[in-house]
C-alpha cells in the first residue's frame, strides 16, 4: 500500500492532510507529539485531534515522535522505505513572539527538524514527493515597504500597483526583518529547495498566508480567525497588535490548501515555490473579521487595539496565486472567507459555550 508520511498530524493542516490522503487510498503515518501544548498551553493542545484521527481514519498509524529526533524518525522511514510516496511536512513552531522566548527550540524544530526529514527522504525514498508547509514570513517585513493607503477599515494598495492582485514569488527575502520565526522557516524553505535542486528531488515549498479552518486549535499567538471567533463567542478579551486593527491577511481553508498539495503530488516538479493563500477575494482586515464574528455569534466583541505591533509582522499581505494556477489549472478554492468562518463557528460553538464568560 502507498504510504503518506504527515508531520504535525494533529494540527490544522496536518489533520486535513491525514483525512484527505486517507480518502485517496493511502495508508497514512502521522507524526505528532503535541508540541503545540508546550508552545501555547493546554487550550491549544492537539491531543483531541490526534485522538479523533485514531478513531475515525481506518488506515492511520500514529507515531508520537519529535521531528528533532533523527533516530526515531529513521525507524519510520526504514520500516516503510520506498512504499513512502509523499511526505507532507506541516510540523512547526509557528509563532513570531514565541520564537523570541526560546530561539534554540524554534530553530531546532523548524530548521533542524526539516533537515532530518529531507535527509531521511533522500536516504530511504528519494522518489517520494516532499511537500513543505512554509510561510509568507520568509519575506520578512519587506511587504511593509509597499505604498499602502489607509482606508476606514483596512490598509490597501493602489489598484494600479503590480502587487494589487497579490504578492508573487519575485519578492526578495533579503535585507529585511524576519522575526526569529521567519528566519528559522526561511532556513527550512531554502533547505527544501536545495534538496530539490542538488539531489533532483521532487520538493515544493508552499509559502502560506493565513491557513485556517474548523479544526484549528487557535491561541493568542497563533490561529488568527479561530482565536478571534473563540473570543467573540466566549467573551474573552482580544488584543489586536498594532496597525489600528486595519492589517490585512488573505485566508485559505485547510481543505483548499491540502487540495493544492494533492495536485502537486499528482504532477510533481523539482524545487518549486508557491505563494499560497486565499487571494484577494478571501482577504480581510482584523476589524473586518471582528464584524463578521459579531454577526455570526450575535455578541459584541470585547477587544482593544494595542499601539505595539508584533516584530516583523505584516501590515498588508495578499498572496498572488497566479504561478500555482498556471502550473495546476485544475485547482480552485472551494470555500469563501465567510463560509470558512461559519464553519469555524458552527463546529466549535458547543465546545466554546462551556467556556463562556459569566
pLDDT string in tens for the chain (358-residue length)? 999 999 999 999 999 999 999 999 999 999 999 999 999 998 889 998 999 999 999 989 999 999 999 999 999 999 999 999 999 999 999 988 899 999 999 999 999 999 999 999 999 999 999 999 999 999 999 999 999 999 999 999 999 999 999 999 999 999 999 999 999 999 999 999 999 999 999 999 999 989 999 887 666 656 689 899 999 999 999 999 999 999 999 999 999 999 999 999 999 999 999 999 999 999 999 999 999 999 999 999 999 999 998 887 899 999 999 999 999 999 999 999 999 999 999 998 988 887 665 4
Contact between 189 and 319 under an 8 Å Cβ cutoff? The reply is no
pTM of the predicted model as reported, rounded to 2 decimal places: 0.95
At residue 312, the pLDDT reads: 77
- Tell me which residue of 89, 15, 12 sits closest to 44, measured CA to CA: 12
Q: Phi and psi of 96, rounded to 5°?
A: -55, -60
At residue 346, the pLDDT reads: 95
What would the CATH number be for the domain defined by 3-353?
Answer: 3.40.50.720
CA distance 103 to 78: 31
Q: Phi and psi of 328, rounded to 5°?
A: -135, 75
Contact between 187 and 132 under an 8 Å Cβ cutoff? The reply is no
Contacts of 167 (CB under 8 A, 6+ apart): 136, 139, 143, 275, 317, 318, 319, 320
What is the residue whose three cell numbers read 526529514? 117
- Torsion, Cα 212 218 221 224, to 10 degrees, reads 40
What is the residue whose three cell numbers read 479561530? 226
CA distance 130 to 201: 8
At residue 215, the pLDDT reads: 83
Neighbours of 35 (CB within 10 A): 22
- Tell me which residue of 180, 103, 78, 101 sits closest to 135, measured CA to CA: 180
At residue 355, the pLDDT reads: 66
Grid cell for residue 41 = 498551553
- Tell me which residue of 134, 60, 57 sits closest to 90, measured CA to CA: 134
The C-alpha angle with vertex 226 and arms to 41 and 322, in degrees rounded to 5, equals 120
At residue 223, the pLDDT reads: 66
Amino acid at each position: 500500500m502507498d504510504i503518506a508520511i504527515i508531520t504535525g498530524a494533529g494540527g490544522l493542516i496536518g489533520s486535513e492532510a491525514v483525512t484527505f490522503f486517507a480518502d485517496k487510498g493511502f495508508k497514512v503515518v502521522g507524526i505528532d507529539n503535541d508540541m503545540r501544548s508546550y508552545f501555547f498551553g493546554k487550550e491549544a493542545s492537539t491531543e483531541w485531534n490526534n485522538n479523533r484521527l485514531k478513531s475515525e481514519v481506518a488506515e492511520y498509524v500514529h507515531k508520537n515522535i519529535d521531528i528533532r529526533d533523527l533516530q526515531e524518525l529513521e525507524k519510520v522511514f526504514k520500516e516503510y522505505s520506498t512504499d513512502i510516496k509523499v511526505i507532507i511536512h506541516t510540523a512547526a513552531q509557528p509563532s513570531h513572539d514565541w520564537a523570541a522566548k526560546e530561539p534554540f527550540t524554534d530553530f531546532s524544530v523548524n530548521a533542524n527538524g526539516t533537515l532530518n526529514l529531507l535527509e531521511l527522504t533522500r536516504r530511504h525514498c528519494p522518489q517520494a514527493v516532499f511537500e513543505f508547509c512554509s510561510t509568507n514570513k520568509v519575506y520578512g517585513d519587506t511587504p511593509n515597504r509597499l505604498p499602502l493607503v489607509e482606508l476606514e477599515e483596512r490598509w490597501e494598495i493602489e489598484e494600479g500597483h503590480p502587487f494589487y492582485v497579490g504578492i508573487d514569488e519575485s519578492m526578495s527575502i533579503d535585507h529585511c526583518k524576519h522575526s526569529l520565526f521567519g528566519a528559522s522557516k526561511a532556513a527550512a524553505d531554502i533547505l527544501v529547495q536545495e534538496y530539490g535542486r542538488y539531489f533532483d528531488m521532487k520538493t515544493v515549498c508552499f509559502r502560506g498566508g493565513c491557513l485556517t479552518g474548523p479544526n484549528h486549535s487557535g491561541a493568542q499567538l497563533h490561529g488568527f480567525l479561530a482565536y478571534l471567533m473563540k473570543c467573540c463567542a466566549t467573551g474573552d478579551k482580544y488584543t489586536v497588535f498594532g496597525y489600528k486593527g486595519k492589517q490585512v491577511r488573505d485566508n485559505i481553508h485547510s481543505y483548499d490548501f491540502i487540495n493544492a498539495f494533492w495536485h502537486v503530488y499528482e504532477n510533481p516538479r523539482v524545487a518549486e515555490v508557491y505563494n499560497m493563500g486565499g487571494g484577494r477575494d478571501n482577504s480581510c482586515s482584523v476589524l473586518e473579521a471582528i464584524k463578521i464574528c459579531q454577526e455570526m455569534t450575535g455578541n459584541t466583541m470585547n477587544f482593544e487595539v494595542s499601539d505595539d505591533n508584533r516584530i516583523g509582522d505584516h501590515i498588508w499581505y495578499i498572496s498572488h496565486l497566479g504561478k500555482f494556477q498556471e502550473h495546476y489549472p485544475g485547482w480552485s478554492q472551494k470555500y469563501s472567507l465567510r463560509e470558512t468562518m461559519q464553519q469555524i463557528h458552527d463546529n466549535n460553538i458547543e465546545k466554546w459555550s462551556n467556556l463562556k464568560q459569566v
